[in-house]
Amino acid sequence: MSEPAGKQPQGPPTRPPTRGWFQFYRAQIFFIGGFLFSILAFAVVLNFDAVTLHLVNPYTQWIARASGVILNLFGEETSVRGTLLSSPRFAVNIYHGCNGVLATSIYLSAVLGFPSTWREKALGFAVGIPAIQMINMARILSLYYIGIYWPNFFELAHGYVWQSIVILLSMVVWIFWAERFVQIPAGKAA
């Protein structure tokens, strides 16, 4: 039986050669290696007391103040002391895991590991960091209201639901960057 006009017969799927598997999977190996190296580097750097004291803590306090400003625009009477965001209705302390730094470091590690130019990586930073921080801000604001209206659901929403959503959406932002802003060289396209 012949193939319909315009349709090309497909051959067997491409398999890695028995020799030279490293060359076949080189881009994937370098991506995974770069990603893991970057994750490890962020983990080490973020554990230095000086980094925590002079960078992470002030940033977390800024997140708390920004959250307080937004909540006050919605009529809440919040006050901020360090990383403690409180009102007559509810109080929440924004810790390191809640400031978006972890999700941002995962995202930045994926950008750094991905085969792209430094210009494309810089664009990934410029697109991703604000997007992840907006996602995290939505998390903090919603958790504040969950604490007021559904306090029994707060721990589940905080520890499982929103943590998963922030990481998932960070990877969605990464996929958006990789598909939209990274140019694959003509010889490497599949």
Is residue 164 exposed (0-12), middle (13-18) or buried (19+ Cβ within 10 Å)?
A: exposed
In this prediction, residue 190 carries a pLDDT of 45
Q: CA-CA distance, 94 to 91, in Å (whole number)?
A: 10
In this prediction, residue 96 carries a pLDDT of 82
In this prediction, residue 61 carries a pLDDT of 96
> In which residue are the tokens 């509810």 written?
90
In this prediction, residue 92 carries a pLDDT of 93
* pLDDT tens per residue across all 190 residues of the chain: 455 555 565 666 666 555 676 777 888 888 999 999 999 999 999 999 999 999 999 999 999 999 999 999 999 999 999 999 999 999 999 988 889 999 999 999 999 999 999 999 999 999 999 999 999 999 999 999 999 999 999 999 999 999 999 999 999 999 999 999 998 765 454 4
